[in-house]
Amino acid sequence: MTGRRRPKSPLFAEEDPQLGLFDRADEKATESTGDAHGELESIRDRLPAKLRLGTSSWTFPGWAGLVYRQRYANQRAFLRDSLGEYAQHPLMRTVGVDRGYYTPVSEEELAAYSKQLPNDFRAAMKVWQRVTMPGFPRHPRYGADAGKENPSFLDPELFAQAVHAPVRAGFSRHMGPWIVEIAPPPSPLDPSWFCERLDAFLAAAPRDFPFAVELRDRKLLTPDYAKTLQKHGASHVFNYWSRMPRIADQMRMDGLLEATPLVCRLLLPPGQRYADLKEAYAPFDRLVAPQPEMRQDVVGLVRAALERDLECYVIVNNKAEGSSPLTVRALAELLVD
């Protein structure tokens, strides 16, 4: 697969010196987008109150016309200020703060995010990989740690100090669940040992906000894992990921449809590589490869969660189908049908 040519973004005023901050480049395009938002508001008004739809991160210039209508002075301004416009989209009531996986987000940045958001908006924050990675991949960016075990894996003290404290101080009003993504280790994990570590972490970590655990290794999806989550009231992340069972199969395991909030993350089709689809699908402005089976699984999951009166987060990555805002719309339309 090869990527399409990436045109200059119509979002940034610096690409046209005659256009000021937030100026419209094309009134006709703006009117069209406004009409589309009107249709989305009609869909939104029929969605369940306990359902939160959103995307995995939000800073994609290719979403101009789908999510963004304002013009920003430059890319830096877009990265800093676009969350507020994202949260005005009729269907977006949550977002995944994925950047927290690579390094903890500072209290100051989180407070700036919080000021942009409406009161009812809740974000799902990824936990820093130094806490959630069992071992370091054999990759140059990990330096001397590459290929080694991570001594800080599921360390509640590191989580409390480096990850939880800034969020509690700067983002409490808009914080939803923590996403504890357990990355595939360099060598296989023993499922029993993993459950012991997870049990100890959930017992000791601060519980201001709910935990949702996301597996990337199907061998860890065991009855003991489900029991560990139940013991602490933590959620399982029902994920659409290349090396995990389909969502409908994850639903069949006893004990995973118990805790609130229920979290579903749509990431990568079976057999695909993240880097390949990132290149092929950019700039993420169209549905390239719709996944009808995935969509039906999500509808079944959401309805099962709502029958149990669980709050439900569905967070979509661009690599699931090509454009996460359009996948969100497709799911919303199915759910109100």
Domain harbouring 212, CATH code: 3.20.20.410
d(CA 268, CA 127): 20
- CA torsion 122-78-279-331 (nearest 10°) is 30
- The alpha carbon of 8 is separated from its chain's Cα centroid by a whole number of angstroms, namely 26
The answer on pLDDT for 35 being more than 90 is no
What number of other Cβ atoms are within 10 A of residue 273's Cβ? 12
d(CA 181, CA 97): 13
118 domain residue, yes or no: yes
Which amino acid is located at 205 in the chain? A
Q: For residues 9 and 263, which has the higher predicted lDDT (pLDDT)?
A: 263
Q: What beta strand segments (E) does 156-256 contain?
A: 175-182, 211-215, 235-240
Q: Quote the pLDDT of residue 8.
A: 60
The answer on pLDDT for 17 being more than 60 is no
| 123: nearest Cα among 226, 30, 212 | 212
2 domain residue, yes or no: no
Q: Which residues contact 130 (CB under 8 A, 6 or more apart)?
A: 150, 152, 158, 162
Q: Quote the pLDDT of residue 117.
A: 98
List, for residues 37-91, the tens digit of each pLDDT value: 789 999 999 999 999 999 999 999 999 999 999 999 999 999 999 999 999 999 9
d(CA 322, CA 5): 15
48 domain residue, yes or no: yes
Averaged confidence pLDDT in the chain: 91
Look up the domain containing 88 and give its range: 13-336
Rounded mean pLDDT, 288-317:
98
93 domain residue, yes or no: yes
Number of domains in the chain: 1
203 domain residue, yes or no: yes
143 domain residue, yes or no: yes
1 domain residue, yes or no: no
List, for residues 88-115, the tens digit of each pLDDT value: 999 999 999 999 999 999 999 999 999 9
4 domain residue, yes or no: no
**What share of the chain has pLDDT > 70, as a percent?**
90
